[in-house]
Chains A and B, each alone.
Chain A
Amino acid sequence: MSMTGAQLVIEALKSEKVDTIFGYPGGAVIPIFDVLFSEKSMHVVLTRHEQGAVHAADGYARSTGKTGVVLVTSGPGATNTITGLATANFDSVPIVCITGQVPTHMIGNDAFQEADTVGISRPVTKHNYLVTDIKDLGRVLKEAFYIASTGRPGPVLVDIPKDIQLHKTDTTFPQRVQIRGYNPLTKGHSGQIKKAAELLKKSKKPLFYVGGGLHISNSIGIFRKIVEKTNVPTISSLMGIGALPSTHPRYLGMLGMHGTFAANMGVMSSDLLFAIGTRFDDRATGDLSKFAKGAKIIHIDIDPASISRNVSVDIPIVGDAKLILEELYPILEKPSIDSWIEETGQWKKNHPLSPETSGDGISPPKVIKRISEVFPDAIITTEVGQNQMWAALFYDFKKPRSLLTSGGLGTMGYGFPAAIGAQIANRDRTVIDIAGDGSIQMNIQELATAVQEELPVIVAILNNGYLGMVRQWQELFNEKRYSSTCLARRPSCPPQCKEPGDYCPPYIPDFVKLAEAYNAAGFRVVNEEDIIPVLKEAKKIRNRPVVIEFLVSREANVWPMVPAGAGNNEMLLGEEDLI
């Protein structure tokens, strides 16, 4: 039974139970798209940009745990995937990205649409392949899915020259994968697990510190049982959000640069930081020389390279968080920490997050809170900037895998295509991209994709007319020199404008008209009391995307804030802390 390389690719995808491909065609992948033309088991989502395709596959993957699949052409198609791959690589998202390549005999000749795709993508993928012999194709695809989805997941790129797609072959793909250099450790060291349990039992001020690894390993269930059993207060990184419901009494919130008072005080006062599936990212830890000085540290992670990199760890446990937590659960004992629970509870009570912001216009946190009321079980994606922090801080997350955000790379333009991918994988849930007016314009073209796919994705744009997060830094640390952060500015504006005012030119684009131009629904909300009615209106629309533009207070800031280089307990809590 002989088939072409292109047919083999599709057979390999079928055997991996792939039902959706995010792609964009071109000369070097026509043979594979040709096979897809008559393939009924797979839906091809044609995005409007290859970056959009990778982010959509990423949203599909993060919201389900399945591997996202991307198919694009050589040269510019491949180079357009790089930001998407880097985003997925940083946040450990399983993706297989198949790129077409010029025929093998032309590689190296600067052929039309040739790029050294494996060379360019090497630092931003978990692994990559250039297939130069059709005999390797089946094995390589099998390995690609295996590597992408096991251990610490990540994107794997497979570059397939056009002649390989057209060659006939009798070889298929192997049933099993054997890679001698890749044996991800899954079970944790039992001795270490016992030590961790003992340390926790003796601790007076323990804190769970959870990250994205908890979602990736599907261990939210067992983790919640552990919190019920031990009653230990919990803080989360941006990627860990949703590990506990945001309203859980033991949940102190997100730590870090824009973390809550309780989480940041907690981490600085704890005597035992029990970290699970987190990298100790610098946005979370602040100045390392001041970080969690009084705490012993236990760290569970699947990636040995994440352990003792930024902070030195007392009890490292390498392996799959779920298996380790399941082994830990029966031997855990409840520590006596009543006064610690009291102390952390006081921090929470006395310094709650404030939804009030300064200036005219709607307060952005209030928009998020209303979204949370009207859509209590949504999948939230975010762009990057203030919108991202407000979404993380003010939405009440309940379920795992419900916040999809670019944490490591901080990619503006991630949220909307990711929402498209998540909506395709979760047809019955509401998917909302909480966006900034700057970020949304980085992949706004995907409105066409969402319209074409009849997806009711909601895009909630917090329009402050600024690249708000950068403007916030300029306000706080550069004496309001709003250099290149005003998105309305014209040459006729006052030079060195330091404040928005009546003289400001109209904002571009008109997002409502833009939505309508794409045949999506568009709303504009100017007054606070219109937030809920418009959200309810949006809820009724189930067959096309909805863009809602909220005209928010232009100079609202995200609080609290730990200035760069400070310790986590040196927070600015609001405008009143600025001298």
Chain B
Amino acid sequence: MKHVISMLVENHQGVLSRISGLFSGRGYNLESITAGVTRDPTISRITLVCYGDDVVFEQIKKQLNRLIDVIKIADLTEKPAIHRELALIKVKAEPKIRGEIFQVADVFRAKVLDVGTDSMVLELTGSSEKIDDFTNILQPYNVTELARSGLISMERAKKTAKKTKGGKQ
């Protein structure tokens, strides 16, 4: 099963290799890992997507927690969360078929970033599945390059008002 973990870590050198080393050393499956600094420059947020049954996933979380540089872990697998990935796609586009590709891009709300003599570059943001679908549909036009950012995720904003003081939680 696929799991998404979002975590806050010390913004040190070497933190990413501690985490990726943990996955390779213990034989866990890591699909993607992304990192970027947070509002607090001493802290980075890492989003990772991994595979494993429940027992393995429990271990992954515990082992990540053991790392001194890991400050907080949130398991977003089951929680209401927004997951986004960005893809840049270079596709063959002879002038006579450009129109078709524009149409497909439009349906997916992809942006055209660059057009050349016989190819163009598209940008798409969305769930990983949406990006899969888009690249599949573009396949017949001959996708020559694909760059995906890996997933970033965030828990959704709370939709219920806080109960007043004294009320049961």
Contacts and interface: CB of A to CB of B under 8 A. Distances in A.
B44 to A, nearest CB: 12
Contact of A181 (B13, B14, B63, B71): B71
B79 interface: no
Given A122-B17, A122-B21, A123-B25, A309 B59 contact: yes
B21 A182 contact: no
A181 B68 contact: yes
A182 B68 contact: yes
A147 B66 contact: no
B18 A122 contact: yes
Given A305-B59, A305-B63, A309-B59, A180 B71 contact: yes
B70 interface: yes
A401 interface: no
Nearest to B43: A180
A126 B58 CA distance: 20
B21 A123 contact: yes
Interface string B89-133: 000000000000000000000000000000000000000000000
B62 A305 contact: yes
Nearest to B66: A305
B68 A303 contact: no
A118 B14 contact: yes
B45 to A, nearest CB: 14
A303 B66 contact: yes
Contacts of B17: 119, 122
Contacts of A553: none
A508 interface: no
A181 B9 contact: yes
B142 interface: no
Nearest to A126: B68
Interface string A300-312: 0001110011000
Contacts of A123: 21, 25
Interface in B38-81: 55, 58-59, 62-63, 65-72
- Of A181, A304, A309, chain B has the most CB atoms within 10 Å of the CB of A181
Interface in A461-480: none
A181 B21 contact: no
A308 B56 CA distance: 10
A127 interface: yes
A182 B9 CA distance: 11
A179 interface: yes
Nearest to B62: A305
Contacts of B18: 122
Contacts of A119: 17
B10 interface: yes
A316 to B, nearest CB: 11
Contacts of B66: 303, 305
Given A122-B21, A305-B63, A181 B69 contact: yes
Contacts of B63: 305
Contacts of A179: 68
Nearest to B72: A181
Contact of B70 (A118, A147, A181): A181
Contacts of A180: 10, 71
Contacts of A147: 68
Contacts of B70: 181
Nearest to A118: B14
Nearest to A309: B59
A126 B66 CA distance: 9
A130 B63 CA distance: 22
Contacts of B62: 304-305
A305 B70 CA distance: 15
Nearest to B67: A181
B86 to A, nearest CB: 29
A147 B67 CA distance: 11
B42 to A, nearest CB: 9
A181 B10 contact: yes
A122 B68 CA distance: 12
Interface string B1-30: 000000001100110011001000100000
Contacts of B65: 304-305
- Of A123, A130, A180, chain B has the most CB atoms within 10 Å of the CB of A180
Contacts of A127: 68
A494 B71 CA distance: 63
A119 B14 CA distance: 8
B75 to A, nearest CB: 15
A305 B66 CA distance: 8
Contacts of A118: 14
Interface in A383-408: none
A229 B67 CA distance: 39
Contacts of A122: 14, 17-18, 21
B88 to A, nearest CB: 31
A353 to B, nearest CB: 36
22 contacts: A118-B14, A122-B14, A122-B17, A123-B21, A123-B25, A126-B68, A130-B13, A130-B14, A147-B68, A180-B10, A181-B10, A181-B67, A181-B68, A181-B69, A181-B72, A304-B62, A304-B65, A305-B59, A305-B62, A305-B63, A305-B65, A308-B58
Interface of A: 118-119, 122-123, 126-127, 130, 147, 179-182, 303-305, 308-309
| Ranked 10 nearest A-B pairs via Cβ | A305-B62, A181-B71, A127-B68, A182-B68, A304-B62, A123-B25, A181-B70, A180-B71, A181-B68, A305-B63
Interface of B: 9-10, 13-14, 17-18, 21, 25, 55, 58-59, 62-63, 65-72
